[in-house]
Amino acid sequence: MRKRHSAYDRPIECVLAVTLRNGTAIAFLILAASLALQVFPALRAISEWLGKAGVVAFISLPILRVSIMAVIFSVNRDAIFAAISATVLVVIGLGAALSVALANDIL
């Protein structure tokens, strides 16, 4: 009988590759649906919303990648790489917060 493997048993590259491939496919399908709905004027608002959601999905993939790396490194008790991944997440978060603040003239 074959042993079932969890995500933590596979090399990190495989987990990241599957995640990014599936995320890219989902984001593509969302954008394709947005483009297909452009044909119907009554559904233009839904089409615009799906277009924004597809772009957000593409943009969030690198953040998801770093998050997965931080979790896997933490589970594997690799403190140095977990700290590096967490630091990258903090920098991404600060960059996003700063860009929102600048866009809204808060700063």
67, two tokens: 């998050």
- The mean pLDDT value for 24-33 works out to 94
Statement: residue 34 has pLDDT above 90: yes
Pick from 25, 34, 35: nearest CA to 53: 34
| Residue range 59-67: mean pLDDT, rounded | 90
Q: Can you read off the two tokens belonging to residue 93?
A: 């978060």
Instruction: Report the pLDDT averaged over residues 60-85.
Output: 90
| Residue 17 pLDDT greater than 80, yes or no | yes
Token pair recorded at residue 20: 């990014």
Distances from the Cα of 40 to the Cαs of 32, 46, 54, in angstroms?
14, 10, 19
Both tokens assigned to 55: 């772009």
Question: Residue 27's pLDDT is what?
Answer: 94
Nearest to 51 by CA among 77, 71, 32, 74: 32
The answer to whether the pTM exceeds 0.75 is no
